[in-house]
Chain A
Amino acid sequence: MSWLAHLFPTCQEMSRLLSDTMDRRLPWHVRMRIRIHLRMCEVCKGYHHQLILLRSLLRRSPAQHSKQGSTRQAGLSAEAKERIRRALDSSHS
């Protein structure tokens, strides 16, 4: 049965393979197995879509996270600004 197991990755193995596809081009026979599994498995298909969605969200704009005002990440404190200003001025003069 081992050839069969090799041919049909489990969902757990698929989750790792799908992560790898986000980073590099896998050999064609692995890509083929992935494609076959995805055609049969809704959860893995959904998971693949989630990974792609997550990436496109995170990459939308490098400044995305600095623009989206989050209360937890308000900005530099007044003290930090003053400290940085002094460091800049003393380095510049």
Chain B
Amino acid sequence: MRESFGNMGDVTGFDSQRWIDEHGDALYRFALVRVRDANAAEDLVQETFLAALQGARRESGEAAERRWMIGIIKHKIVDHFRRMAREPLREDHPANLPAADGDFIADGHWNPEGAAIHGWPDKPDELLERKQFWDTLAVCLDKLPPRTAQVFTLREMDEMDTDEICRLLCLTHTNLGVMLYRARKQLRNCLSVHYFGQAEEGTPL
């Protein structure tokens, strides 16, 4: 094994081991929840560090360094999505509203048997610290079709506007609208059943 401290005293003060220890896991999890592929997430972390090595950073401090690297990995993730967009997946080819949607009955009313509105809190605060909630959310995100999950995370987690997403991933606004619509409804249903509805139904994941 090569001695990693060899780099500590050089002019740039670069220490690969410190970067990996301080930011590796956080960047990996940031990427994993978005790309949902462990190998791809590892590669993205490596690409991010390599890009960071090339760039000059003005701010100092661990938090600023983390923000800087998160900024880089966001771009790397979009590049990854674009590479994937060249291989279309049939499973979530965006079409119009499906004729049969189990959430609604024939006249367009909500299916009374469907996932309900009960059990959801008024405010997000009480959920933020609940590990079980985030675990359930991760499982529910995993269940979305891959392309749908990509656009959903870009829109809802990374606050990218729809024009930008359409441009980057070569989607029409109509297709994007359908994908976001489905993602939101599916995620809401999944959380209703597996997290908020647990008190009454106790459905295990």
- Residues of chain A having any CB pair with chain B under 8 Å: 10-13, 15-16, 19-20, 22-24, 42-47, 49-51, 53-60, 62-76, 80-89, 91-93
**Residue of B101, B122, B135 touching A71 (CB-CB under 8 A):** B135
B22 to chain A, nearest CB (A): 12
B109 close to A60 (CB less than 8 A):
no
A10 close to B109 (CB less than 8 A):
yes
A12 to chain B, nearest CB (A): 4
A86 to chain B, nearest CB (A): 7
B177 close to A43 (CB less than 8 A):
no
What are the 4 A-B residue pairs with the smallest beta carbon separation, nearest first? A10-B108, A46-B117, A75-B25, A66-B29
Chain B count of residues within 8 A CB distance of the other chain: 65
Within the assembled complex, what's the spacing in Å between the Cα atoms of A67 and B26? 7
**Residue of A16, A50, A72, A84 touching B49 (CB-CB under 8 A):** A84
> How many interface contacts (CB-CB < 8 Å) are there between A and B?
172
Within the assembled complex, what's the spacing in Å between the Cα atoms of A85 and B23? 12
B128 close to A57 (CB less than 8 A):
yes
Within the assembled complex, what's the spacing in Å between the Cα atoms of A47 and B97? 18
**Residue of A50, A73, A89 touching B188 (CB-CB under 8 A):** A50
Within the assembled complex, what's the spacing in Å between the Cα atoms of A23 and B42? 31
Given known contacts A11-B108, A20-B177, A57-B124, A88 and B16 CB-to-CB distance under 8 angstroms: yes
B98 to chain A, nearest CB (A): 10
**Residue of A46, A69, A76, A85 touching B17 (CB-CB under 8 A):** A85
Within the assembled complex, what's the spacing in Å between the Cα atoms of A88 and B94? 40
**Residue of B6, B97, B107, B128 touching A16 (CB-CB under 8 A):** B97
Within the assembled complex, what's the spacing in Å between the Cα atoms of A75 and B101? 38
Given known contacts A19-B181, A86-B2, A12 and B104 CB-to-CB distance under 8 angstroms: yes
